[in-house]
Amino acid sequence: MNDSMLTYTNTTLKPYHSFGSNEIANYFTIITKKETIAEISIWCNQHNKPILILGSGTNVLFTKNFEGMVAKMEIMGIKKIAEDANEVLLEVGAGENWHHFVTYCIQKGWGGIENLSLIPGTVGASPIQNIGAYGVEVKESIKSVIAYDTQTAKWETLSKHECAFGYRTSLFKKNNNRYIISHVQFVLQKQAKLHIDYGVIRDVLHEKNIKNPSLQDISNAIIQIRLTKLPDPKIIGNAGSFFKNPIVSIDHFKELQNEFPKIVAYPISDTTYKIAAGWLIESCGWKGVRKGNVGCYEKQALVIVSYGIQTGKEVYDFSEEISQSVKNKFNILLEREVNIF
C-alpha cells in the first residue's frame, strides 16, 4: 500500500457511525486530500476488496463486519468559484459538516439550503441521498459533483442532469460505491425565494410574530422543529428517518383513504400520492415501543433508536418487524432510507 495512505487493520467502526454498533472493518483509512481517493481505489481493485466511503456515518447501518476498506472522508474547504449580482458559485469539500456549511451560507446571506438546516451528515453525502426537508431538496442548489469513477479510474465533473437526482436517490446511490465524491459545487442565491409552505414552519414563525422572515429566521424555525421531533445522534443512536415516505397510485390511495380517513398523504402528481411513513408506522402501534436495545422513538415513529446495541442486526431485525406490520395492514412495502451494509 502507498506510504501516503495511513491504513489500519481490523478496526472497530463503533466511533464512526451514529448507531454505534461494534462491527469491524478489515481495513480503515482517512481521506484528507483528493489524490488519496485514486490510490485507495486502485489498491482495492488490485486486492479485490470492496470500498466504502464514510462521511459522518449518520445514514448507515452495519449488520456485519465489513470485509474490505472503509475510508472516512475528511476533505475540507469552502471555496468561492464565481459570483455575480444574483448568485454565488461555491466548491465545497466532501468532508465538510453539512449543517456547518448551511450556517456559513446563511451568515453570508446566500439562500437556497436554509430549509436543510440541522440535517446530520457531510457535504459529500448530500447528493448521494439527494437530502431534502420541508419542501426543499439539495439538487435544487447543486451545479455539479466532482467524483472519481472507480470503474474507469477517471475523474468526472457530473452536471446536475447527469447526477440523475430523484426522491432520496441519485446516480451515486443507484451505482453504489462506483463514484467517490471529493467536492460538490453549489449555486446559491443572493435574493433567495423563501420556502415556508409547510404549515409547521408558518406556525413557528407565527408564534414568534415574524412576518418577513430572513434566511436565519427560516433556519432557526427548522432547527426548532427538528429538535422537537428528532433525537440527537450524539446522545441516542439513530440515523434520522429510517424509512422513505412511500409513493402509491391514486387508486391505492383512495382505497386507503376510504378505510383510513385520517391517513396523512400529499399529492405528487395527477396519478400518485406520497404517504407519510411515520403515520403508517404509528398507526401500527410502534411509536415508543422498545424491544431490548432497540426502539421506535417516542416523539417520531419514523426514527429507530439504539439503546446501546452490540450489532446492527438488532436494528435491522426490528425494522423488519415494522415493515412487515405496515405491509400487512396497508399493503405498502416500506423502503429503507438508511444504507444497509
Asked if 223 and 258 sit in the same domain, the reply is: no
Asked if 184 and 247 sit in the same domain, the reply is: no
Task: Report the pLDDT value the prediction gives residue 166, as an integer from 0 to 100.
Answer: 92
Task: Report the pLDDT value the prediction gives residue 155, as an integer from 0 to 100.
Answer: 97
pTM, to two decimals: 0.86
The last residue of a domain, from among 73, 88, 113: 73
Task: Report the pLDDT value the prediction gives residue 220, as an integer from 0 to 100.
Answer: 95
Q: Which three cell numbers stand for residue 5?
A: 495512505
Asked if 329 and 263 sit in the same domain, the reply is: yes
Q: Which residues of the chain have pLDDT under 50?
A: 3
The last residue of a domain, from among 25, 44, 73: 73
Asked if 26 and 89 sit in the same domain, the reply is: no
Tell me how far apart the alpha carbons of residues 14 and 240 are, in angstroms, rounded to a whole number.
Answer: 17
Task: Report the pLDDT value the prediction gives residue 109, as an integer from 0 to 100.
Answer: 96
Q: Which domain holds residue 126?
A: 78-189
Is residue 194, in this structure, part of any structural domain at all? no
Asked if 180 and 244 sit in the same domain, the reply is: no
Task: Report the pLDDT value the prediction gives residue 3, as an integer from 0 to 100.
Answer: 47
> 11, 75, 92, 9: which is closest to 37 by C-alpha?
75
Asked if 110 and 33 sit in the same domain, the reply is: no
Asked if 221 and 252 sit in the same domain, the reply is: no
Tell me how far apart the alpha carbons of residues 163 and 144 are, in angstroms, rounded to a whole number.
Answer: 8
The residue ranges of DSSP E strands in the chain, in sequence order, are 7-12, 24-31, 51-54, 60-61, 66-73, 78-83, 87-93, 132-133, 136-137, 142-149, 154-159, 179-189, 237-241, 247-249, 265-267, 272-275, 290-291, 294-296, 303-306, 339-340
Task: Report the pLDDT value the prediction gives residue 310, as an integer from 0 to 100.
Answer: 87
For residues 228-251, one letter each, b for 16 or more C-beta atoms within 10 angstroms of the residue's C-beta and e for the rest, the string is eebbebeebbbbbbbbbbbbbeee
Is residue 1, in this structure, part of any structural domain at all? no
Is residue 212, in this structure, part of any structural domain at all? yes
Radius of gyration of the chain (CA): 21
Q: How far is CA 172 from the centre of its chain?
A: 13
CATH of the domain at 321: 3.90.78.10
Task: Report the pLDDT value the prediction gives residue 167, as an integer from 0 to 100.
Answer: 86
Q: Which residues are catalytic?
A: 168, 241, 337
Tell me how far apart the alpha carbons of residues 63 and 338 are, in angstroms, rounded to a whole number.
Answer: 12
The answer for residues whose C-beta is within 8 angstroms of residue 255's C-beta and 6 or more apart is: none
Asked if 111 and 60 sit in the same domain, the reply is: no
> 30, 45, 23, 46: which is closest to 10 by C-alpha?
23
Task: Report the pLDDT value the prediction gives residue 105, as an integer from 0 to 100.
Answer: 98
Task: Report the pLDDT value the prediction gives residue 4, as an integer from 0 to 100.
Answer: 54
Number of domains observed in the structure of the chain? 4
